[in-house]
Amino acid sequence: MQTIKKAAHKTYERTPELIRSVESIIKSVKEKGDDALKTLSEKFDGIPLKNIKVSRQDIEEAYKLISPETIRHLKFAASQIEFYAKKQLECLKELEIPSKVDGVTLGHRLIPVDACGAYVPGGRYPLPSTALMLAIPAKVAGVKRIAAVSPASKKYGKIHPAVLVAMDIAGVNEIYCVGGAQAVGALTYGTSTITPVDMIVGPGNRYVTEAKRQVLGEVGIDSLAGPSEVLIIADGTTHADYTAMDILAQSEHDPNARAILITTDKKYAEEVEEKIKKYVKELPTGETAYKSWEDNGIILLAENENEMVDAANKLAPEHLEIHTADSVKLSGRLKNYGSLFIGEYTPVAFGDYCSGTNHTLPTMRTARYSNGVYVGTFIKTSFYQHITQTGCKNLADTCMHLAEVEGLMAHQKSVSIRLE
């Protein structure tokens, strides 16, 4: 494997300063509650908060601040996400079976968590799509209480109206105007305004990610997200324009986003680089996207298709695109990715907004062992057994022997007493 372009620096680093800063924020929220949320919001977002909880009137006003066309498209995207989530739910089945041992019944039940928090980032751009992606699968899963948080927009002095409308369309029960590590702390430990949740989902900056790491155990989380990523496999038979634009689409997220191209065709790689330089001049986000590509982008030249596949499986990217002569066939050989985009007419943008799959995905190679947010994220698979007197006798010898081997004599006695 030959490297044509290297990344200039590492895009994510967990520093001692970050850890201490987040510890301090969470401690402040635990001790001072709403007062801390208001102080920290003004400190970090530059916006004094009058009310942390968003009222129904605020939501109705938000509908008036965005176009009917935006509302229509949000509803279309929501219907796609809901359709996919419902089909996923159909794949999850409860279980009850008789064991091979007479008198023993085994099973599991699918139980949604009672309450989840959905973190919708603010930052450079409003992200109404993320509100849909987090809340709709939770609603379909049967979560009774969905509490969404998002920082105030500088333009509006409150949550961006498109985000508020998306939260409402998605069926969120409670909305709070608070972001950052302090929002994670509030969802975990509660304040006088915010009741704690059982699970927190959603992406965020490094402060949000570190906060989720620190509260893990007190609450469940979906994942520890790093900067967004795309890896594109291309054999030189598809449009270089599409590949170049998909690289820029990923790179425009933020200065730490990473795009990787793996190809078997050097001329194609060179053409993609030229196309990138051309398109950055046409994009209002071109400067940000190009800097991200220059700093973090990678181009690898593989000897053959096998080498491309092996590299992709090792890198385990968040988004994986296949631009080859037979993308469908090649897709069957790929196993480590957050979401797979098969064929040159399947850009990541569709998954980000409206195809129906979720865009909250594992990053930093965690796709080797984890998956993105989906309806099952919010469902516990809880085991059970029912053992009759006959089953008790049939299991007793093995159970009592192993209890004795481990020296846990009350375990042994808890069985033997039932045989007397």
For the segment 115-153, what is each residue's pLDDT rounded down to a tens digit? 999 999 987 788 999 999 999 999 999 999 999 999 999
Average pLDDT, the chain: 95
* Per-residue pLDDT reduced to its tens digit, 42-93: 998 888 888 999 999 999 999 999 999 999 999 999 999 999 999 999 999 9
Report the DSSP pairing between strands 199-201 and 145-150: unpaired
Count CB atoms within 10 A of the CB of residue 360.
23
Query: Is residue 187 pLDDT above 80, yes or no?
Result: yes
Q: If 0-12 CB within 10 Å is exposed, 13-18 middle and 19+ buried, where does residue 389 land?
A: exposed
**What superfamily does domain 16-221 belong to in CATH?**
Nitrogenase molybdenum iron protein domain (3.40.50.1980)
| Catalytic residue selected from 174, 210, 229, 318 | 318
Is 94 a residue of the active site?
Answer: no
CA distances from 19 to 44, 209, 215, 343 (A): 17, 10, 12, 41
* Per-residue pLDDT reduced to its tens digit, 263-286: 999 999 999 999 999 999 999 999
Residues 328-332 have a mean pLDDT of: 96
Annotated binding-site positions for NAD(+): 119, 182, 205
Is 319 a residue of the active site?
Answer: yes
**Residue in this structure with the two tokens 């594992």, named with its chain if needed:** 362
pLDDT at 11: 60
| Catalytic residue selected from 319, 321, 323, 359 | 319
CATH code given to domain 233-368: 3.40.50.1980
Strand partners, 185: none
Query: Is residue 9 pLDDT above 80, yes or no?
Result: no
Annotated binding-site positions for Zn(2+): 250, 253, 352, 411
Asked, colleague to colleague, whether 16-221 and 233-368 share their fold, the answer is yes
What are the residue boundaries of the structural domains of the chain, listed by start? 16-221, 233-368, 388-419
* Per-residue pLDDT reduced to its tens digit, 401-415: 999 999 999 999 999
Annotated binding-site positions for substrate: 228, 250, 253, 319, 352, 406, 411
Annotated binding-site positions: 119, 182, 205, 228, 250, 253, 319, 352, 406, 411
